[in-house]
Every structure is written in structure tokens, then in C-alpha cells.
Structure 1
């Protein structure tokens, strides 16, 4: 396999509205069901303070007000388990969590292919529930990685094949976990590795720089007037190192919400440091293109198979 590759995909048939969701569901016969919902922390949630905030949005599948983060485990289809696992982080601008559309649907598709999938319901940055809101989501991502790695044998997972996958602002969180793993923001006296073995980023927010960031995501995470230090620290294109995990990126060139340059600058930094990276860019599809390109996971599955994270 080449160390990096970029593919410009020609636009296929476009799906819109209700047909977009129908196309996505028809393309992936999602018969996998969740096995269990696992609390991230027991008993106390770090970096939290008393609040009367209540979780809401279960009926719509778009959540907010999360104070008790969890992992929802989707077990691989019988006889197909590859040993790999992926922690799936839905997006939502750090203001909501698009739990069903980006999280559960994706986890089911991964499980059908033999990958243990865990949907992360993470705390959204909020001064109402956290002393330091900018690290809250990262704490939950690191704890998810620790929990899956610590329980790998019990769940039939290879602890060297644990990846992280994020959409939009969830892509920012996934790439943050993939570039900030050398510092533990959680209790980790066991010294469990917090480094994902690979990262999958779908129309991700990468940068917190004025010229590139998604303003709403930055405002929610860092506040409206972040310090230069914080903006640089959470601009993940500036945090790439030679030991950053291999990456798969996909985006639409006409994304009007999160500029495709977020993926491109991240790709370029990874490539220059010789980190294996593959990128697929659709010319059309805008933000959330997964609902208009029902076959969007096929190139991802090919990449995973080439890296032995999927079985033939």
C-alpha cells in the first residue's frame, strides 16, 4: 500500500431530503443491535460540577444536556469479527450530538463488517457543568479509548486495532484525541495507551484558526474570544507529529459549513511528516454528505481492509 493517496471522486447520483436517509439505510442493511450501554466513568465524572441540566433529544436522536457520558456497544456480526474496534463520535458543532444519524447508523454498518463499534455520547462543552469546558469532550474521548483498550480481551478486541472516528465537530474531537494522546486529561495510573491506532475523519473541523475554523464549534469549545494559546493548542493541524496515527479523511469540496481546507491542511501536514493518510473528496455533497452519498463507506472499508482492520 502506498503511504498516502488522494482520490477525487466523480459525482454520482445525488439524493436529497427523505430519499437521502432512505438511500443510506438501503445501502447498508443495518441488522446489528446494541449489546449494552456502558457508563464512561464510575462513579464520579471528572471536571464536572453540580448542575440541574437535563439530557434531552432522545426522541429525535439529536442530544444535548449530556452530563453522564456513555459508550453504546455494537457487537460485530457473528463469525465476522476482525478484532478491530472503532469509537464513533457524532458531530453537532459542540452544541448538540447527532447521535442516531451519524453515530448509531455508522456503528451498525461497522458492526456488519466485523468491527466492534462504540458510539460515544460525550459531554458538550459548557460552563454550567464543567470547571474547564475546553477539555471536557477530550476527557470523554480519552476515557473511551482507555475503557475499550482495558476491556479488549473481554470484548474480543485486539488492543492494537482500536480506532477513532468523528464527524464534523466530532471529527475535531477525534483528531484532538489523535494528536493530544501523550498528555492524559483523565486518571490513568495504569498507563494505558491513549493513542488511537487509526483515525477516520468525516467532514471534520480541524482548525481553530480564524481563517479556517467553523465559528460555532470554536465558540462552543473555547469561547468567543479564545486565547492564542488555546486556539493553537486545539488547531490540530498544528499538533501533528510523526507518531500521529494513520488517517482516513473524507469531505465534500462544496461544503459551505466546514471548509474542505480543514481536511486538506491536515492531509498535507500528515503527508509531510510521513504519516500514512488517504483522502477522498466529493466535488458535491455539502456538509453532512453521508445522507446524500449512500455508498460513502465503501472506500473507507477498502482502506480498512488494506490495513487489516477488516477481514476479506
Structure 2
């Protein structure tokens, strides 16, 4: 089922032009009723309709926008992109569509996930609703790998800021399907790319807004630990590429540092890139072109090599 909403259409018009011979499709994340959802009106809205970096808030109907690269360079690798927004919305252009276009240039198929926000009025458990959507996206992409000419063993997840927290949550909790219907599927991303991510919910370094939106106002100790992803790493956690700016005043660089240390302790291959400046939320717009380093990492991981 293909669905294009007004918000998505407007945001797409505001992106830079898609690479020639790429195709873009907007797909409903679920067929029929969403497990665990509470019936409500569509709460989705755009924070500032005149701003070029469209920020979609209060999402209740999730979808995934597929960016298929030129078939002549497609290599079968796929990346599911989770834009950030503090678990109040998603910066769908700057941390979604523009990143997908750049990945297409590497021959990578990209899927931008417009995931639901943790709202008590629209889901029975707001703390697990976004993770359910991330796991559903992994299932959807992997189960359609033959149709979309993807390698089912080269499906990764990428997240920015709070989307980085969601991506890391999917990477460490892949063996715990928050929706029982997903338990039969392989939910493990094959790799993870985390860009200035929220990692920890521990008070010393967390981004309080993201934490409180997801699990607040009552901060249950078990949930704090469950969603502090540096505490959930094990030897089966997927390989990782991490990027952070040293001068990030919103999400301290310590988030990436503690996650890298946990990955290193469990001998999970990881690369950590700390750029000197840029603050938070720069997307592709940093004076240091970090995407070139990401491309080299993907290549070194044999993720840009087309299967014969």
C-alpha cells in the first residue's frame, strides 16, 4: 500500500533534487491496524510550514519513504534512516531526505522512517511505540529484499539525535520484539550509523527532553536502564559508525564516548569520529564532510560491493 500525506509531499518539494534515475516511493509502515495503537484523530502537524527544514510533529500514522538508487550502481545495501527531533517530531528533510539522496549516490537504497511519537493518547505504551516502528521497518525492508533487490544481510539502521537513540535501541534490543507479531522475524540490523546520538538516559549525560518524552514523567529505574543503550551492548550488537561534534551543547559527546567504550569492551567493530565543531543538529551541513568518512567505512565493511 502506497500513501503520500500532505506533510510528506510538502517536505519532498523542499529537498534538493533527487539524483537522476532514482525513484522515491512513500509506503505505509503497517497494513491495517497498528498493534498497540489507540484509535485517535490524526495529530500530525508541521511546526513551521515556512521553514525549509520541515519538522513534523505528533506523528500518529507512520510511513517509510523509499529512495531507490540508479539500478546501474545499486549494490544491494539498504539503510533505514531515523531523523531526530527529541521524540517530539522528526526533522524529515535535513536528517532524512537529504541523507537518503547522498546514500543513493553510493548505490545504497535508503528508507526514511517517519515513526510515531510517544503519545499516551495514541498508543498503549508510549515508551515502546517508536521502537516497535523501528523494528517493523527492519522487518518490512528485509522481507521485501528480493522484490527490492536488496541483500538481506546488508540492512542497516541510521539515526540522528533522538533518532540515534531509537536506532541504537533497535541495535541492542533486536532479540526483544516489543510487538509479539514480530518475534518470528530477524530484527537485527546488520550495522548501525549513529549521528550525534542520544545514547544514555542516565542523568549525567542524557538529553532530558528526549528521555522525558519517551519514558516520563515518572522515571522508572528499570526503564532508565533499558533505554540506556550503552548498558545493553553485548557481543552480538551490530558494528557501528558514530559521529559527534565536540562542542555539542544539546547532546553531550559523552553519549557517543560511552557507547563506543561499551562496543569496544564487547569487541564489536566500531569507528568513532569526533569533529571539532558544528554543535548539534547539523545534518549534512558541517564544514567537515563527515559523509566521506562514512562512505569509506561502508566500503571497508564491504557494504558498497555489488554481489556478482
So what's the TM-score if we normalise by structure 1?
Answer: 0.88
- Is it true that 1:57 corresponds to 2:46 in the alignment? yes
Structure 1 alignment gaps of length 5 or more: 1-24
- Conserved 8 A contact 1:114-1:311: no
Q: Secondary structure at the match of 1:133?
A: coil
Match of 2:27 among 38, 54, 64: 38
Greater relative contact order (Cα 8 A, min sep 6): structure 1 or 2?
Answer: 1
Counterpart CA distance in 1 for 2:218 and 2:90 is 24
- Candidates 193, 203, 211, aligned match of 1:200: 193
Counterparts in 2 of 1:186-225, with a 5 A limit?
186-188=179-181, 191-225=184-218
Compare 260-269 and 55-64 and name the one that shifted more: 55-64
1:107 positional shift: 0.6
SS of the equivalent of 2:242 reads strand
How much is the aligned-residue C-alpha RMSD, in angstroms?
1.9
SS at match of 1:149: helix
Residue 74 (str. 1) matches residue 63 (str. 2)? no
Aligned-residue offset at 1:31: 4.5
The 1:29/1:46 distance shift into structure 2, 3 A limit, reads closer
Cα deviation code 1:263-287 (max 9, x no counterpart): 0000000001100000100111111
Q: Is the 8 A contact 1:31 1:112 kept in 2?
A: no
Aligned partner of 2:237 in structure 1 is: 244
State the match for 1:227 in structure 2: 220
Residues 168, 202 of structure 1: 8 Å contact kept:
yes
Helix, strand or coil at the partner of 2:237: coil
Paired residues of 1:88 and 1:120 also in contact (CA < 8 A): yes
Is the partner of 1:289 in helix, strand or coil?
coil
Question: Are 1:47 and 2:36 an aligned pair?
Answer: yes
- Whether the 8 Å CA contact 2:242–2:272 is kept in 1: the answer is yes
- Structure 2 unmatched ranges of 5 or more: 1-14
Task: Find runs of 4+ consecutive structure 1 residues off by over 3 angstroms.
Answer: 28-34, 187-190
The structural deviation recorded for 1:190 is 7.5
Per the TM alignment, residue 80 of structure 1 is displaced from its structure 2 partner at its CA by 0.7
Q: Is the Cα contact below 8 Å between 1:254 and 1:286 reproduced in 2?
A: yes
Q: 2:289 aligned with 1:300, yes or no? A: no
Please give the alpha-carbon distance, in whole angstroms, between the structure 1 residues aligned to 2:214 and 2:153. Answer: 30
Contact 2:176 2:183 in 1 (8 A): no
